[in-house]
Amino acid sequence: MVAPIFLAPIIAEALRQKIDVQALFRGLAVDAADFEAPGTLVSQREAITVVRRALPLLTIDGAGLALSAQTRVTERGFLALGLLGAATLGDAISLSLRFPQSAGYLLQVREVSSPTVHQTLLEPHLGDQDLQRFLVDLTFAAMVKLRRQVTGANYSPSLLELVSAAPTHAAAYQTFFGCPVRFGCLKNVMSTDAQWLDFPLPWAGAMAYRLSTQLL
C-alpha cells in the first residue's frame, strides 16, 4: 500500500480537463473522494491502474515534468514533518527511502553513494515498463522540486540518465533539472554531488524529525 502522492496531480489535471474521474477508478476499492481523507492508502496495482487509464486521456505535453509542478512538501503528511525537520538534505533523502510507502513511490527506488556522488536509481515494477517514461519523469522531477523546497536553495543534480529515448521536448529536461540529461541509457539514474548531502536545512528541528519517524 502507498500514499496516493503521485496520483493526486493526475486526478487534479483530469478534473481540470473535465475528464470523467470516476471512470478512472471503476472496479477499484477506492475512488477520487477517498483522497480527501488523511491517511488514505492505495495498493500499487490500484495506483498503476489509474495511471494507465488516465494518461491516454490527458492532453498535456511532457506530462511527467508538467505534473511535477504541483509537488508540495506539505502534501507528504507525517513525512513532510521529517523532511523539513531533518538536519541535512542527506537525512531528508534517507527518510523518504526509509518510508517509501509514505513517499508514495510507484517505482522501485534505491540509492548508491560514494565519497563524491550520490545516486538515486529508479526502476519500474514488473509489467509497468509501458509507464516508465511518465513515472520516471514525474518521480525525478518531484524529487528535485522537493529538494529545492526543503533546502530553500537552487538545488540541481549533476547528471540525469534516462532509459527512455529523447522526446521532441528534450530541451525542457535540461531547463528543469539544470544539468546535463542523457537519453537511451541502461538505467534511470539521478546523480548529485555528494556535498549536497551535508547541506543544512533551514527548518531543521530534532524534535520534529524524531516525532515524524515515530508517527511514520
What mean pLDDT do residues 7-23 have? 93
Distance CA 114, CA 82 (A): 24
What mean pLDDT do residues 176-193 have? 98
What mean pLDDT do residues 3-19 have? 93
Query: What pLDDT, on a 0 to 100 scale, did the predictor assign at position 61?
Result: 84
Reply yes or no on whether the pLDDT at 36 is more than 80.
no
Query: What pLDDT, on a 0 to 100 scale, did the predictor assign at position 60?
Result: 87
What mean pLDDT do residues 48-64 have? 93
* Residue 72 CB coordination number (10 Å): 14
What mean pLDDT do residues 171-197 have? 97
For 75-94, write each residue's pLDDT tens digit: 899 999 999 999 999 999 99
pLDDT band at 40 (very low <50, low <70, confident <90, very high): confident
